[in-house]
Structure 1
Amino acid sequence: MNIILVGRHHGQSRVVAMSAPVVVGLLCLLLAVLGMAGWAGFQVAVSKAEAEKPTPSALVAHWQARLDEQKSELSVVQQEVQQQIDALTLRLGQIQGRLLRLDALGQRFVESGLVGSEEFNFDEPAAVGGPENSGERESFSAPELTRMIERLEEQLDDREQQLRLLDKLASRQKLEDEMFVEGRPITWGWLSSKYGYRSDPFNGKRTWHDGVDLAGKEGSDIISVAGGVVTWAGERYGYGNLVEIDHGDGLVTRYGHCKTIEVNVGDVVQKGQVVALMGSTGRSTGPHVHFEVLHNGRSKDPVKYIARSSN
């Protein structure tokens, strides 16, 4: 086998003659060098991979760090959830307090007769129900609960304003009813002398009578025909023992010839309250009450006010 060697500058060439054994030997040497180079590269790669591979202790430390990080994140989430629960609990407590006030208002309406007790019972929870839904059941999320509470608070605000207005109107109506002069000043008895001109029971002359006389049993109750303030409670000429009550708006009632007086000047009395007991003190011929109604200082026929209770 001949090998031709050519110069760098294309100069003179040389021919080297090589035998077959020499060529085979060179090829084997080349293959051996290549094999050793490959094996050395493989060993270098394996060593590098083993160097980069974490040891068991390093792997445990890595996962422990991840676990600690997740625990920290979970703790933050738990704190946020607890804060939301505390906020919702506080709002629910406030709503519960407002509901108790509304129940108290409702109970007042029941006691005042504005609402039928057989229709509403504020001591019992509202009756609700319905067939069970066979569909998918899900719990409410915190944002959904928050929105529900906000809507409930808006409804409570509206109902509370309405009930307060109704309470004011009811109180005003009750006060007007309390101050409304009507009915008889006795629980039992009869009309013995009318309002206007009459024959004087002592001298027989024609005289003016400023009220009506209602006869009855001595010691029986004399009641106020409306709420008001006692402006006189004592003896007055001609009236004997007299009770005078101011009901406002210029209306005053008088109850004369009482046996005893049960109130004092300045007392606030209610409609139907006993203010005296029937007697025959003063200018009187027997047990009765002289009942007067004055409006702005002028006497009015008490029968008109007595008749109001029947309208």
Structure 2
Amino acid sequence: MNIIFISSNSERARKLALTKVHIVLLISVLLLIIVTVALSLNFISLRYADRIDTPLLRAVLVNPQEERHQKIQTHLQDNLNVMASKLGQMQAQLLRLDALGERLAESSGIESGDFAFNQMPGQGGARNDLSAEELSFSEFSLKLQELSNMLDERTDKLGALDSLLRHDRITKFVMPSEMPIETDWYSSGYGYRIDPFTGKRAFHEGVDFTAEVGAPIKAAAGGVVIYSDRHPEYGNMVEIDHGDDLVTRYAHASKRLVNLGEVVLQGQKIAEVGNTGRSTGPHLHFEIRHKDKPQNPAKFLKKPG
């Protein structure tokens, strides 16, 4: 490339020849100048932003930096708010897990003091700075979400286990397994026997426990009193409904201590032994009926005779 310079003061023209090398150098210098000016302006806008009073310069240099900084801060604050919300949810889940852990320990018979549910488990190990890596924000958010999902899963499983254990405990309390009277034997068993009044073979639908008049009669399990009155054959009688069509009957009592509709607990005193109704002497006639069909009490009681 040739560039010719002509001057009015001189009759002789001057010629300047530019090669490709000259052009490349010229472009490089121009680019360097542009980059230097841009970096200088950026430095000035960051270093002396608070000292620039000229509206024009402030609009050109400072405002773009402030806008970009504000956008970054807004984005970070939004992410922090999301993470704070997740952290609050996880804290609530941990409280639920602590409560579940204490209930499970109680249901299983383990003392809750053996497990410190409100304390972090001990951790440790040798320090290794070479393999240590810092988590990025996205990685940290992903780990937080994974931990939250694990807490949800553990809570569901522990909740189901807690329900099973609680159902098992409730079943034990409503199952007529407690002896209704303090004795280890009965005077007349369940099944066919010779009727003491007729002398004929007859089916005995319960068991008889011989005891002194006034001896306490206890509920074999918790339930609701569905009968507490005098019966023409059973004398003073109490019936307790334990749910699932399971009923216990306590007959020939001298005194009834519970009323119709009353809720009783397992082992609670409900009557006293007597000799009322169709009876040859002081005793307790005890029956267990399922769907109004007699059952052998020996299959339920802890201490059958």
The one-letter amino acid of 1:301's match is N
Q: CA deviation at 1:185?
A: 1.3
Q: Are 1:107 and 2:102 counterparts? A: yes
Residue 236 of structure 2 aligns to a residue whose secondary structure is strand
Task: Give the match for residue 293 of structure 1.
Answer: 288
Task: Give the match for residue 276 of structure 2.
Answer: 282
| Aligned equivalent of 1:121, options 110, 115, 118 | 115
Task: Give the match for residue 300 of structure 2.
Answer: 305
Q: CA deviation at 1:197?
A: 1.8
Give TM-score scaled by structure 1 length: 0.65
Alignment of structure 1 residues 159-170 onto 2, 5 Å: 159-170=154-165
The one-letter amino acid of 1:280's match is G
| Aligned equivalent of 2:129, options 135, 144, 147 | 135
Q: CA deviation at 1:132?
A: 4.6
Deviates more, 1:259-268 or 1:240-249: 259-268
Deviates more, 1:281-290 or 1:223-232: 281-290
**CA separation in 1, counterparts of 2:182 and 2:98?**
37
For residues 266-289 of structure 1, give each alpha carbon's deviation from its aligned partner in whole angstroms, at most 9, with x where no partner exists: 34444x241513221513565532
Give TM-score scaled by structure 2 length: 0.67
Deviates more, 1:122-131 or 1:143-152: 122-131
For residues 174-216 of structure 1, give each alpha carbon's deviation from its aligned partner in whole angstroms, at most 9, with x where no partner exists: 444344333421245642333342462xx68456443222234
Is the Cα contact below 8 Å between 1:261 and 1:275 reproduced in 2? no
Is the Cα contact below 8 Å between 2:102 and 2:112 reproduced in 1? no
**CA separation in 1, counterparts of 2:216 and 2:104?**
30
Residue 191 of structure 1 aligns to a residue whose secondary structure is coil
Any gaps of 5 or more consecutive residues in structure 1? 1-32, 35-58
Q: CA deviation at 1:108?
A: 1.8
RMSD of the alignment, in Å? 3.5
The percent of aligned pairs where both chains have the same amino acid is 32
Larger Rg: 1
For residues 5-61 of structure 1, give each alpha carbon's deviation from its aligned partner in whole angstroms, at most 9, with x where no partner exists: xxxxxxxxxxxxxxxxxxxxxxxxxxxx88xxxxxxxxxxxxxxxxxxxxxxxx974
**CA separation in 1, counterparts of 2:212 and 2:88?**
59
**CA separation in 1, counterparts of 2:177 and 2:170?**
14
Change (3 A) 1:99 1:260: farther
**CA separation in 2, counterparts of 1:295 and 1:75?**
75
